[in-house]
Structure 1
Amino acid sequence: MRHIIKNAFVAFASLSSLSLALVAAPAMADDAADAGKLLRAGQYNEAMQKVDAVLAQKPKDAQMRFLKGLILTEQNKTTEAITVFSKLTDDYPDLPEPYNNLAVLYASTGQYDKARASLEMAIRTNPTYGTAHENLGDVYAKLASQAYDKALQLDSGNAGAKLKLTMVRNLIGNGSGGTNPKTIVAQAATPAANVTAPAAKPAIASVAPVKASKPEPEKTKAEAKAEAKAETKAEPKPAKTAVASNSGEQDEVLKTVDGWAKAWSNKETSSYLAFYGKDFQTPKGEPRKAWADERRLRIEGKGHITVKIESPVVSLDGNTATVKFRQIYSSDQLTANSRKTLVLTKQDGKWQIKQERAGS
């Protein structure tokens, strides 16, 4: 039962799958490409030398640190790889992939509770991260398998536990509850195809039969025609005033998002934090003050920050607005191009941020 993540290392896709789509300077991008080629060729020592040379100049570079974690994993240096990904989650808590890869490593050493916690953090950071959801399901299956095993140790005649254990093991992939790891494929930060793996067969569970509904008698042509006519009359015409109103609200929402990005770029921390509403849901569920103090420290500790908003799309639902856009972030330590979603609510006549999600 060494590895239980779906086809083991499906989480370790190409570097381009890193949710912030990390972008480096041209020379550094070349170094990442070279290191990725060496890694795929199995030349791990050479790849590590290339990565370490870059990190000696830019020790905070997230892309190179992520790549280093992949190399260490391929070298079976699990403890060192865990350290690398753990520090990445500390320094870049908005990136879901380090949490996910950390979970894979924890699972490979039988630390399933830690794997579960890491995957839950990955999902909290990016609720649309499908790989983390799938891996979390496998971790729960493994934990369930252990629980049913324990139940059978205490009562070997427990038929229900035997049946459930069999189903869970089928779900995981084989009778021993493990799958063999796939080779990690690492590439540069330019777009590339993700590593895919065949899906495991789902367990077959019994389902209660669904009662068929009785067919309704056919309506006469006259009745059907009358109903269709009534439905046509009942269809309301769109109100022009509502469209104009929504257009105005969208403009207000976009002005709010632009002001938020401008305050962030100018390192006007108090103004930046004021864009978040009283009901803002902090990323880790931490107290609002703790989150605000951390954001203040991160923003004011940077030499320079530039945040640009591209291709924003606004969806309105009453007093709630969802804005999806591409965020171009640049600082003295990191340059990133990522998808982001802001959920805003109208409070006291102004739009404020309720949720902030990266990668969706």
Structure 2
Amino acid sequence: MSKRALAASLLLACLAASTPVLADAPQDIQALIKQGQFTQALERTDQALAGKPRDAQLRFLKGVVLTELNRGNDAIAIFQKLTEDYPELPEPYNNLAVLYAQQRQYDKARNALEMAIRTHPSYATAHENLGDVYARLASQAYDKALALDSSNTSAQNKLALIREMISPTGKNVRPTAPAPVSVAAAPAAPAVTPPPVAKPAPAPVPATPAAPAPTTVAQAAPKAPPVVASPPVPPAPPPAAKPTQKDDPKPAAKPEPRDESAAQSAAITRSVQGWATAWSHKDIKGYLSYYARDFDPPKGLSRKAWEEERGQRLTKPGSIEVALENVQIASVAGDKATVRLRQHYKSANLSTSSNKTLILVRQDGKWLIQQERVGG
């Protein structure tokens, strides 16, 4: 575990609701979590979710409670589904990184943090956390180098330096208590330090994320960073007044059109990353949903035969890891885009790296894969 322990994001938000019961649910659940009444908090969360099954904040709270109950795999499933339904929110990625780090799955923790950074490139704490994960990975690599060659003084010196930065247990820090939720307004997230077993601190996911808050410096494994808000969207300029017959005959100056290229590029990147994530988690339905209706299957297969083949491969025993590198949007023309990337694939029986080109089209407001080919 690193010096700055990987803790969960803590965001206290008050969401409007149609009934007092649902409106008070997040506050009630947070109070139960603060009191350590995790079983009751889970019951209250399930009760609230029965009325609002897709509520992001309630689902996130359930993941937090499951983590506190040491039901890590169930919590991972909650946060993973949130990343698929709300890929623009960094909090679920952060808490995935917490859980993966607890399981010593540092590659997955790294991937989760990289997704948080892609969602919010200015997420400074996530960058620092990523450095902590790399420190742990470096320590493992130097250990292996010394196991192969115990006389390697360079590796010895580097390992000693890394060990000065990390704790062997990562159980040095207690979490700070969460601040109470205000019914009138959503306060900024307080600083949080990790609990003795590096569990994520409770934090509901808002419909609109709030501003980030720094976390307390601690010992050892990387912490999950606090919530970083999406930058507010500036209001659209008012339409130019139409001239009357008495106005200057010259047409009124038109407002500058908004640059949509950044938002479009972000949507394309999210779709590609979501496709890789669903593939890594062997989510057949989610994986296939990233392919367009007119997708051109390889090897001359029909769409049905191709889907059956993919389903058989994804259901084979063993894990799958798909990591993307150097994702570049080569071109965008209307509703069609070309993306080039480096794909690293690893399963129980195969490990490959290859360049890949994806042709995506926009259908029903989503960017979906129309063609997929190896190479440029």
8 Å Cα contact 2:5-2:219 kept in structure 1: no
Secondary structure in 2 aligned to 1:252?
Answer: coil
Matches of 1:33 and 1:181, distance apart in 2: 26
Q: Which amino acid in the other structure matches residue 164 of structure 2?
A: N
Largest Rg, 1 or 2:
1
CA RMSD of superposed structures (Å): 3.9
Q: Which amino acid in the other structure matches residue 272 of structure 2?
A: E
Matches of 2:37 and 2:263, distance apart in 1: 52
The answer to whether structure 1 residue 191 and structure 2 residue 187 are counterparts is: yes
The answer to whether structure 1 residue 92 and structure 2 residue 86 are counterparts is: yes
Q: Relative to structure 1, is the Cα distance of residues 122 and 52 closer, same or farther in structure 2, using a 3 angstrom cutoff?
A: same
Q: Relative to structure 1, is the Cα distance of residues 195 and 26 closer, same or farther in structure 2, using a 3 angstrom cutoff?
A: farther
Q: CA deviation at 1:179?
A: 4.3
Matches of 2:177 and 2:72, distance apart in 1: 17
Alignment of 1:331-350 (within 5 A): none
Matches of 2:85 and 2:97, distance apart in 1: 17
Q: CA deviation at 1:200?
A: 4.6
8 Å Cα contact 2:139-2:162 kept in structure 1: yes
Q: CA deviation at 1:82?
A: 0.7
**Corresponding residue number in structure 1 for 2:33:** 39
8 Å Cα contact 1:51-1:67 kept in structure 2: yes
**Corresponding residue number in structure 2 for 1:334:** none
**Corresponding residue number in structure 1 for 2:270:** 284
8 Å Cα contact 1:141-1:168 kept in structure 2: yes
Equivalent of residue 50 in structure 2, options 41, 52, 56: 56
Secondary structure in 2 aligned to 1:38?
Answer: helix
Q: Which runs of 5+ in 2 are unaligned?
A: 194-215, 221-252, 277-288, 294-331, 334-376
Alignment of 1:150-189 (within 5 A): 150-172=144-166, 174=167, 176=168, 178-180=170-172, 182-183=174-175, 188=181
**Corresponding residue number in structure 2 for 1:103:** 97
Matches of 1:83 and 1:5, distance apart in 2: 27
Secondary structure in 1 aligned to 2:272?
Answer: coil
Matches of 1:55 and 1:62, distance apart in 2: 10
Matches of 2:150 and 2:171, distance apart in 1: 26
Matches of 2:34 and 2:125, distance apart in 1: 22
> Is the helix fraction higher in 1 or 2?
1
* Aligned pairs, number: 225
The answer to whether structure 1 residue 14 and structure 2 residue 6 are counterparts is: no
Q: CA deviation at 1:81?
A: 0.8
8 Å Cα contact 1:103-1:115 kept in structure 2: yes
8 Å Cα contact 1:8-1:179 kept in structure 2: no
Matches of 1:8 and 1:55, distance apart in 2: 28
**Corresponding residue number in structure 2 for 1:252:** 256
**Corresponding residue number in structure 2 for 1:270:** none
8 Å Cα contact 1:8-1:181 kept in structure 2: no
Please give the per-residue CA displacement for 1:31-85, whole angstroms capped at 9, x wherever unaligned.
1101101110101111111111011111111000111111111111111111111
Q: Which amino acid in the other structure matches residue 160 of structure 1?
A: S
Alignment of 1:259-270 (within 5 A): none
Q: CA deviation at 1:26?
A: 6.4
Q: Which amino acid in the other structure matches residue 196 of structure 1?
A: V
Q: Which amino acid in the other structure matches residue 46 of structure 2?
A: D
**Corresponding residue number in structure 1 for 2:314:** none
Matches of 2:5 and 2:217, distance apart in 1: 8
Matches of 1:107 and 1:180, distance apart in 2: 16
Q: CA deviation at 1:195?
A: 2.5
**Corresponding residue number in structure 2 for 1:71:** 65
Q: Which amino acid in the other structure matches residue 56 of structure 1?
A: A
8 Å Cα contact 1:69-1:81 kept in structure 2: yes
Matches of 2:112 and 2:137, distance apart in 1: 15
Q: Relative to structure 1, is the Cα distance of residues 85 and 130 closer, same or farther in structure 2, using a 3 angstrom cutoff?
A: same
Matches of 1:25 and 1:192, distance apart in 2: 24
**Corresponding residue number in structure 2 for 1:271:** none
Matches of 2:36 and 2:219, distance apart in 1: 31
Normalised by the length of structure 2, the TM-score is 0.52
**Corresponding residue number in structure 2 for 1:30:** 24
